[in-house]
Amino acid sequence: MSVPAYRHLWRAARIAFKGDDRVLTAARQQIRQGFRDQASLAPSDPSLRQAVEKAEDIAKILRQNIVQGKQDEARVYKLRIHEDIERGDNDSVKAAGGSQAGKCGCN
């Protein structure tokens, strides 16, 4: 498979799971296994392109959407929000309007 996609996944996991060695080790094992499973794909195989796109998408999610929280002594969770985390302005939440008190907000 693609070496750049592998590196992107590796870096994204390192950023997303910084300080959590157990989860980082598991993520690295999963990345290795996923790439080993796809290693036999020929460069002309359409499945290869899909696998590379999937790896890049996963790297993007890890880098932009995974936030770690750690509970401190006061039983308060502190979030580790790094520079790559996607930050919204909550306009979609505000646009929903009305109160959802006691409701899940699902249609």
pLDDT of 20 reads 92
The domain spans of the chain are 3-84
Chunk the chain into consecutive blocks of 10 residues (it has 107) and report each block's average pLDDT, rounded to whole numbers.
89 94 96 92 88 94 91 91 82 64 56
Closest-CA residue to 6 (of 55, 72, 58, 51): 55
User: What are 59's two structure tokens?
Assistant: 């790297």
pLDDT of 2 reads 83
Closest-CA residue to 70 (of 62, 60, 78): 78
User: What are 49's two structure tokens?
Assistant: 């392109």
pLDDT of 88 reads 76
pLDDT of 12 reads 96
Burial label for 27, CB within 10 Å (0-12, 13-18, 19+), is buried
DSSP 7: H
